[in-house]
């Protein structure tokens, strides 16, 4: 079991710090979660049945195959509905996208981007759109709990975790609900590796990294974030942490390279500079900003 359950409790125990995303990074769970859980709930709860083909295409692009990959569910919901509203073929099916301002205001508020944060806002500012969003989010969680199991870590993950925790303090940093994270890490008996499993209830990834590294005296070249999405890279960049990408579609190769060479460079102090820049350049080419239907 993780040693800490709050960011403020996290204590430095080694000279190195490694943060690790979970969905799509450690576990090959992004495809099944989005295609079998998020997408059906998106179509059902936002009355998109008439344009289901386009709604599915939009959701999968936003969450799996674009620069928005790995984004928290609430801002990516807005992003997906905005894309759908701007999709001529979908619009011709007569779907109605509601005014999303209450949800946009929630996303930019100081409340955590979680069901608990949303519920707190609903209690003080009741709004039909926020209630609808909560029903969708709860339906997604129920579907994930019902459908997603038996999805193991990618090959070489456990070997990398052994190497990391021998020399570094390991934290899971994710936008997934904490309950789902803990269930997955426990199911595969790897929950003993991280000192903390930080999900969406503990804030955004930038907050996770900021709180856990501030005042701990880790040298900049001894902090590393491992992730599969631009949000992971942005959080690392914002907090002065180096970044190693697990490339979407090439996850097994990425973990093999981490095991065979990147971790050696990290612990030797030679990961930064040209080597890191090359890894990031490869990663950025894989996730476009413009959807294919706009070409």
In this structure, are 135 and 168 located in the same domain?
Answer: no
Q: How far is CA 216 from the centre of its chain?
A: 25
Same domain, 37 and 21: no
**What is the structure's pLDDT at 43?**
98
Does residue 295 have a pLDDT over 80? no
pLDDT digit string, tens, across residues 33-76 = 999 999 999 999 999 999 999 999 999 999 999 999 988 899 99
- Inter-residue contact 248 to 64 (CB < 8 Å): yes
Residue 194 reports pLDDT greater than 80: yes
Residue 256 and residue 154 in contact, taking contact as beta carbons nearer than 8 Å: no
The CATH number linked to 242 is: 3.40.50.1000
Residues 187 and 257 in one domain: yes
Tokens of 214: 């501030």
Q: What is the predicted pLDDT for the residue at 224?
A: 98
pLDDT in tens, 226-272: 999 999 999 999 999 999 999 999 999 999 999 999 999 999 999 99
- How far apart (Å, rounded) are the C-alpha atoms in residues 277 and 236? 14
| Together in a domain, 85 and 183 | no
215, part of any domain? yes
Query: How confident is the model over 216-236, as pLDDT tens digits?
Result: 999 999 999 999 999 999 999
Is the predicted pLDDT of residue 213 greater than 90, yes or no? yes
From first CA to last CA, the distance across the chain in angstroms is: 48
- Do 97 and 114 share a domain, yes or no? yes
Domains in the chain, number: 2
Sheet holding 196-198, edge to edge: 196-198, 168-173, 16-20, 223-227, 242-245
- Average pLDDT estimate for 142-147: 94
Predicted pLDDT of residue 70: 86
Q: Supply the pLDDT for residue 163.
A: 98
Instruction: Decide if 2 is inside a domain.
Output: no
Q: Do the domain assignments include residue 290?
A: no
Q: pTM for the full model?
A: 0.84
């Amino acid at each position: 079991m993780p040693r800490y359950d709050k960011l403020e409790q996290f204590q430095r125990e080694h000279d190195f710090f490694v943060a690790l995303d979970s969905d799509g990074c450690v576990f090959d769970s992004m495809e099944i979660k989005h295609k079998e859980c998020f997408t059906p709930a998106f179509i059902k709860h936002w009355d998109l049945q008439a344009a289901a083909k386009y709604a599915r295409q939009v959701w999968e692009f936003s969450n799996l195959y674009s620069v928005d990959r790995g984004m928290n569910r609430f801002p990516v919901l807005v992003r997906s509905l905005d894309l759908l509203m701007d999709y001529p073929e979908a619009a011709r099916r007569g779907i109605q996208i509601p005014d999303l301002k209450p949800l946009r205001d929630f996303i930019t508020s100081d409340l955590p981007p979680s069901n608990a944060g949303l519920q707190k806002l609903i209690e003080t500012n009741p709004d039909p759109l926020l209630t609808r969003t909560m029903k969708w989010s709860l339906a997604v969680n129920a579907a994930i709990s019902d459908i997603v199991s038996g999805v193991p870590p990618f090959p070489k993950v456990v070997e990398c975790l052994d190497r990391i925790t021998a020399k570094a303090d390991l934290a899971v940093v994710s936008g997934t609900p904490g309950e789902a994270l803990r269930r997955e890490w426990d199911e595969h008996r790897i929950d003993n590796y991280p000192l903390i499993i930080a999900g969406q209830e503990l804030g955004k990834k930038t907050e996770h990294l900021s709180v856990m590294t501030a005042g701990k005296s880790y040298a900049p070249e001894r902090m590393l974030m491992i992730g599969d999405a631009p949000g992971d890279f942005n959080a690392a960049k914002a907090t002065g942490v180096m970044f190693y990408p697990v490339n979407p579609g090439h996850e097994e190769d990425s973990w093999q390279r981490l095991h065979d060479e990147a971790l050696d460079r990290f612990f030797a102090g030679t990961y930064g500079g040209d080597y890191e820049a090359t890894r990031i350049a490869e990663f950025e080419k894989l996730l476009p900003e413009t959807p294919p239907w706009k070409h």
